[in-house]
Amino acid sequence: MLLRTAKTEDISALYAIWQEAFGDTAETVDLFFDTCFQKKNTLVAVCDGQVRSVVYLLRNVLQYGEKSFTASYIYAAATEKVYRGKGLMRALLTYAAETESVRGTDFLYLVPANTHLFQYYEKCGFRTAFGKQICTFSRAGLQAFAEISECTVPYIAWKREVLQYAERLAQQFGEYSLSGANGFAVWAQTGECAEVSELYAADSRLSELLHELLQACKAIQFTLSLPCTAATEKCESTAMLKALSQRAKAQNIKHAYIGLTLG
């Protein structure tokens, strides 16, 4: 097994692995490669002379009060089907931590694709640190909530190219989106009900973003994922964190909010 960053000649293999793992069309994969792909931030495992496993690193910021930490999102991690169970992904995750440590990155974070993967990633040094609460509001209820809402927990501040990718994904899949200074949102609407799948409040401006959402979407019922706090009764675990730097290891981050999953 050889671990390294991607090369131009790997791209066809990267497309093949992505499509096999996630079932996306080439056009959907194109969106990522057109907006976010960088060879230096793509780590691959090579076996038998061919790329067999890959992780993509999207470099963002974890904002924790007045403190800012560099944080790389492990995205679209996948292994060719016939090479699964051979330790390639675990080796890549270790390599990602080593690579990002050398670069001075504070944290790695990821979203497990299903609940049983939380245990797998725990064995790789990640811990659950992100959560969300699923809330349903009438239009009037969301208007009232927007007047008093705020994001007081640590959150991911996403880079512009990632938001561009998320917006183009929404367009391709026929979803609605809004993007502006206050943040970003994606929703699907069935009749008079809107289900908000992505909600990122820039600079924690959740109240302003919700007001923009109400202006953009005329639904009368909204279901959306919101930040949790220590007082939240039903907090659903969403993402995991791995501290790399000493300053990161000194933090005790809980109930962080990811906002986007790009799923």
Give the model confidence (pLDDT) of 122-176 as tens digits.
Answer: 999 999 999 999 999 999 999 999 999 888 999 999 999 999 999 999 999 999 9
State yes or no: pLDDT of 232 exceeds 90.
no
Mean pLDDT of 1-25: 97
CA distance 242 to 245: 10
Residues 6+ apart with CB under 8 A from 252: none
- The per-residue pLDDT for range 109-129, each reduced to its tens digit, is 999 999 999 999 999 999 999
Q: How confident is the model at residue 229 (pLDDT cuts 50, 70, 90)?
A: confident
State yes or no: pLDDT of 206 exceeds 90.
yes
Which domains are present in the chain?
2-128+240-247 (3.40.630.30), 130-226 (3.40.630.30)
CA nearest to 19, candidates 90, 89, 78: 78
The pLDDT assigned to 233 comes to 86
